[in-house]
């Protein structure tokens, strides 16, 4: 369903959540974010900033890593989904593509895709149609359909993982670090497909990325995380032009490119001041 009104409806609302791992490690210290329906929202930040944790808190995969949401609420279509079984969440339309692909290595590419339709109850015909759709977006996967996923390339595995998520016919995909370990050209290709899926299939994306440059080019909105908190948010366009983002995350400044060492010390100083 298309929303014609200029103010977009919010599909997912994260309100001030705290996440504790193993009852002691505080990974998120009050994170709030809104994901508009039909958009591509990017969560940016360095290692350990809490991007993955945020995604896993939403998809509830955090439980299997001994983490739990101790404060706040996560509303998906107005319903609190904290503590919900991941399978239930997949059924209601939210599916996560995990960091590092996580394909089923010993299953073929096609079998991998079919497991994505596990929660569907609308019959083989509908699943077969979905499979064709996935192959349309990822023709490469059709060529490799009979290969064991463990033997396919990193890019193919990323495609398999995204395709597998698509098989559940989701309204929202949580995409964790799609660029990880891929060549720049492939990263571009993957993001191109993400944008197409968003445009043509109406899938809402919430993605976590370290590659700020690519992510901000394709995203509509962005959140920047540091140390378990959101430190900046805004339209992707605005973030891209923001001098601080340019300085810290895109490595550009008025004085030209900087050495990484300077960026880091500058960031440290900045944190002190904040």
Partner 1 sequence: MPDTLLFALEASLNGLTAGVMYALVALGFVLIFKASGIFNFAQGVMALFAALTLVGFQSGQIPFSHLINAMFGTRLHHFGWNMPTMLAIPATVLVMIALAILVERFILKHLVNQEPIILFMATIGLAYFLEGVGDIMWGAEVKALDVGLPKGMSSAVDEATFNWFGYGFYIDRLEIWAAGIAAVLVAVLTVFSQYTKQGRALRAVADDHQAALSVGISLRFIWVLTWSIAGIVALVAGIMWGSKSGVQFSLSLIALKALPVLILGGFTSIPGAIVGGLIIGVGEKLFDFFMNPIIGGATENWFAYMLALVFLLFRPQGLFGERIIERV
The verdict on 85 binding partner 1 (CB under 8 A) reads yes
Task: Please count the residues of this chain forming the interface with partner 1, following the rule CB under 8 A.
Answer: 37
The DSSP code sequence of 101-127 is ----TTSBHHHHHHHTTTT--SHHHHH
Name the burial class of residue 83, with classes exposed (0-12), middle (13-18) and buried (19+) by CB atoms within 10 angstroms of its CB: exposed
Q: Which of 111, 188, 233, 238 binds partner 1 (CB under 8 A)?
A: 111
179 binds partner 1 (CB under 8 A): no
Q: Pairing mode, if any, of strands 67-76 and 10-21?
A: antiparallel
Closest to partner 1 by CB, 5 vs 64, is 64
Q: Please list every residue from 40 through 69 that binds partner 1, using CB under 8 A.
A: 59, 61, 64-66
Question: Based on the number of CB atoms within 10 Å of its own CB, is 29 exposed (0-12), middle (13-18) or buried (19 or more)?
Answer: middle
- Contact stretch for partner 1 (CB under 8 A) within 93-101, 210-218, 227-235, 239-247: 93-101
* CB-nearer residue toward partner 1: 59 or 204: 59
Of residues 74 and 95, the one with the C-beta less far from partner 1: 95
Among 40, 44, 74, 97, binds partner 1 (CB under 8 A): 97
Q: Among residue numbers 117 through 136, which ones bind partner 1 (CB under 8 A)?
A: 118-119
Q: Is 106 in the site for partner 1 (CB under 8 A)?
A: yes
Secondary structure of 160-223 as H, E, C letters: HHHHHHHCCCCCEEEEECCCCCCCHHHHHHHHHHHHHHHHHHCCEEEEEECCHHHHHHHCCEEE
Instruction: By CB under 8 A, tell whether 172 contacts partner 1.
Output: no
Strands 40-44 and 94-97: unpaired
Contacting residue, 52, 53, 54, 96, with partner 1 by CB under 8 A: 96
CB of 208 vs partner 1, minimal distance in Å = 14
Tokens of 45: 């930040």
Shortest reach from residue 118's CB to partner 1, in Å? 5
Stretch that binds partner 1, among 8-16, 68-76, 165-173, 241-249 (CB under 8 A): 165-173
With binding defined as CB under 8 A, does residue 25 bind partner 1? Answer: no
The set of residues, in sequence order, having a beta carbon less than 8 Å from that of 163 and lying 6+ positions away, is 112, 113, 116, 134, 137, 138, 141
Q: Name which position in 40, 134, 165, 239 contacts partner 1 (CB under 8 A).
A: 165
Contact yes or no for 12/206 (Cβ under 8 A):
yes
Nearer to partner 1, 156 or 226 (CB): 156
Contact 110, 143 (CB under 8 A): no
Strand 172-176 and strand 204-209: the pairing is parallel
d(CA 152, CA 66): 31
- Residues lying near partner 1 in the complex (CB under 8 A) are found at 59, 61, 64-66, 85-87, 89-91, 95-98, 102-107, 111-112, 114-116, 118-119, 148, 150-151, 153-154, 164-165, 167-168
């Amino acid at each position: 369903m298309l929303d014609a009104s200029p103010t977009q409806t919010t599909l997912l609302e994260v309100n001030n959540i705290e996440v504790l791992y193993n009852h002691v490690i505080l990974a998120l210290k009050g994170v709030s974010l809104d994901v508009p329906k039909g958009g591509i929202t990017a969560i940016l930040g360095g290692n350990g900033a809490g991007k993955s944790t945020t995604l896993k808190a939403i998809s509830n995969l955090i439980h299997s890593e001994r983490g739990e949401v101790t404060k706040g609420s996560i509303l998906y279509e107005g319903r609190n989904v904290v503590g919900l079984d991941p399978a239930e969440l997949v059924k209601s339309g939210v599916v996560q593509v995990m960091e590092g692909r996580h394909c089923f290595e010993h299953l073929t590419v096609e079998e991998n895709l079919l497991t994505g339709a596990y929660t569907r109850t609308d019959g083989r015909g509908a699943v077969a149609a979905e499979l064709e759709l996935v192959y349309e977006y990822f023709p490469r996967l059709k060529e490799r359909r009979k290969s064991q996923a463990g033997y396919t390339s990193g890019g193919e595995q990323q495609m398999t993982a995204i395709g597998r998520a698509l098989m559940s016919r989701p309204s929202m995909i949580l995409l964790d670090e799609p660029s990880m370990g891929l060549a720049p050209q492939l990263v571009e290709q993957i993001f191109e497909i993400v944008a197409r899926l968003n445009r043509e299939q109406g899938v809402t994306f919430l993605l976590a990325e370290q590659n700020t440059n690519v992510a901000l080019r394709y995203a509509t909105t962005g959140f920047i995380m540091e140390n378990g908190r959101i430190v900046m948010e805004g339209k992707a366009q605005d973030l891209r032009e923001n001098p601080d983002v340019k300085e810290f995350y895109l490595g550009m400044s008025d004085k030209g490119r900087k050495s990484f060492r300077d960026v880091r010390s500058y960031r440290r100083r900045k944190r002190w001041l904040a």
